[in-house]
Amino acid sequence: MALTANNPFFTRSTLPYQLPPFASITDEHYRPAFLQGMTAQLAEVSAITGTADAPSFDNTLVALERSGQTLARVSEVFFNKSSSDSSDFTNDLEEELAPLLAAHADAIRLDPALYSRLAAVHEQRASLGLDAESLYLVERYFTEFTLAGAGLSDDNKQSLRDFNSRLSTLTTRFEKNLLADTNELALIIDDVAELDGLTEGEISAAAEAARERQLDGKYLISLVLPTSHPYLASLTDRGVRERLLAASRARGIRSDAAGAANDNRPLVIEITHLRAQRARLLGFDSHAAYVTADETAKTPGAVWDLLGRLAPAAARNARVEQVDLQAVVDAEGGGFELAAWDWAFYTEKVRRAKYDVDTAAMRPYFELESVLTNGVFYAANQLYGLTFTARPELVGWHPESRVFEVTTEDGTALGLYIGDFYTRDSKRGGAWMNALVSQSGLLGTNTTVVCNNLNVSKPAAGQPTLLTYDQVTTLFHEFGHALHGLLARATYPKFSGTNVYRDFVEFPSQVNEMWMLWPEVLANYARHYQTGEAMPQKLVDRIQASSAFNEGFLTSEYLAAALLDQAWHRIDADTVVTDVARFEAEALASVSLDNAAVPTRYASTYFAHTFSGGYDAGYYSYIWSEVLDADTVEWFRENGGLTRDNGDRFRDRLLGVGGTKDPLEAYRHWRGRDAELQPLLDRRGLNA
């Protein structure tokens, strides 16, 4: 009773910016808050449908937007915790909650009385005198409820509920299996000599990771989410490289006694089949058709046209690169055919030979604190006038999470930014952004709390955290999502922050990557951690000269994953796949991306984006958004680059819009036209 009465999720936090009171939250608070939150929201919806008053915008749409605040508070905290600091408790609770939350969502979206009221408001929307955002809210609700099955018969609704419940359980289990296998397959090294090629800091991080597992005297290399591990570019021992890549690719496919519990192959088959069946029930030929119907792409054909246009050129470029790499192997008397675990290592050799660029030599200039404060924060200050002030007295969800207050140049408070940058066994792979408190004028929440999670290996105490080139890119990327969450302004919770179409959500984050190498930004943060000297200009010039280098490989591995995602979700309800490996091989061969030396960025059994991360039939969105991103970079270059005027225009017309209007309409308002494809082709070296 005491836990229920004092549950911190039952009321708004009184901390600055409504920061969740992490110091007061215990495991025992989550389940009661979820159950009470669902019960309360259903009661609120019942009040909407039970009124005798005729449907109106206020008594239906606004009331619906006000509902579910307790559930939102606990969900935002719990699902961030279960991703970034999981435990047996969070794993068990998440699996218990998955079908309950799916049923709860269905109880609202499939409520015939609620749908009837939404339809009535939608029908009379033009005569209601609504502002643009309110009108768009009516249209989005009606579209989403219709696509969700609100108009189905009672029998079909029950079938839909069964599909949604089962899928929620399977996707949750997929994620937990992947985390377990990622931890269990981490590479254990006995002899430090096998780590030749790694930096002192990387070796220190491997020793620290081993010590955390009580493996004193050994070294542990944690796996990353993608197939290729960054250490493959540095490790000189070919056998260790092979073992590291094999461990990465073994996730979710082991059938031995040790790994059978984490076998994701049956889940992949069942998930895709259920999604196809559900799509048919909802009136679509495939899950891909169902998903894209409510994205900017609109059809899977449009997605396939773009990916299919890029794939042949990418595959061709990768083959050319492969010849160059094999030549180096042969010149050194290697006596072997280039394999997937050799690609990154020999790429660095060719990069050094062709462009005199050594990415490993950049790491002393990429110290985490400087990248964050003098790079990421600095660019945001120059563009948008934002200031980030450390608030060490405010507590995050983990001792390593750090809280910063965000204000505008006139001192107006925007909210809090929380960074959690280090990897740990309790954190899922990859990097991401979450919102813990979302802005909404309707709810009186005019500030936000956003967070970034990365997976950087933590060095031993006293050692600097030196980032790789790719990790710096990732930090700028994820911070772009955070900026979107901080700067977007909406009346309604539905449109807050990054609540936009899935195939547009990556656009702001990809745009923010451009500032990583922008001259004045790079000069401000890329300084040697020991001497303070700036990165030599000649090194910067060489980086830029080699910008299209290895793009054949990088584009091919990405497109292979995007096309594999599409292949899984273009199957119809009558198709039953029985062999995951064969399906993958045939799908990649059909688009000439079956080069053994260029594995797909994610194989199906560890493809978290599509089987547990909400990007199902939507992994194409990265390159779809990159069309806009590359076109945007051209605009900034043509209009003076890193200036407040440019930042204000981009904020006012794009970032600040949130989900309040069609994103392509917002893009045209900012750019003056639709995006052109040519800048992307130039960037990735995909011109004929």
Show the CA angle centred on residue 19, arms to residues 428 and 23, nearest 5°: 75
Q: Residue 682: count other Cβ atoms within 10 Å of its Cβ.
A: 13
Burial 252-275 (b: 16+ CB within 10 A, else e): bbbeeeebeebbbbebbbebbbbb
Q: Rounded to a whole number, what is the distance in angstroms from the first to the last CA of the chain?
A: 69
3-state secondary structure of 21: coil
The Cα–Cα gap between 395 and 372 comes to 19
The Cα–Cα gap between 7 and 24 comes to 9
Tokens of 486: 């901080």
Residue with tokens 């929380």: 418
Q: Residue 449: count other Cβ atoms within 10 Å of its Cβ.
A: 29
Residue with tokens 């005199």: 356
User: Among 506, 430, 481, 475, which residue's Cα sits nearest to residue 222?
Assistant: 430
DSSP 61: I
| Parallel/antiparallel/unpaired status of strands 448-456 and 413-422 | parallel
The Cα–Cα gap between 278 and 281 comes to 5
Tokens of 75: 């969900």
The Cα–Cα gap between 433 and 479 comes to 8
Q: How far from chain centre, in Å, is Cα 521?
A: 24
The Cα–Cα gap between 345 and 542 comes to 19
The Cα–Cα gap between 274 and 278 comes to 6
Show the CA angle centred on residue 156, arms to residues 153 and 162, nearest 5°: 145
673 burial via Cβ count (<10 Å: 0-12, 13-18, 19+): exposed
Q: Residue 320: count other Cβ atoms within 10 Å of its Cβ.
A: 10
DSSP 444: T
Q: How far from chain centre, in Å, is Cα 109?
A: 26
The Cα–Cα gap between 488 and 402 comes to 22
Residue with tokens 């218990």: 96
Q: Is residue 474 within 8 Å of 589, Cβ to Cβ? A: no
Tokens of 50: 């039970």
Q: What is the DSSP string of 284-349?
A: -SSHHHHHHTTSSS-SHHHHHHHHHHHHHHHHHHHHHHHHHHHHHHHHTT--S---HHHHHHHHHH
Is there a catalytic annotation at residue 184? no
The single residue of 76, 202, 478, 513 carrying the catalytic annotation is: 478
How many residues would you count in the chain? Answer: 688
Question: What is the number of helices (H) and of strands (E) in the chain?
Answer: 28, 7
Tokens of 173: 């289990």
Q: Is residue 335 within 8 Å of 224, Cβ to Cβ? A: no
The Cα–Cα gap between 284 and 301 comes to 13
**Residues with catalytic annotation?**
478
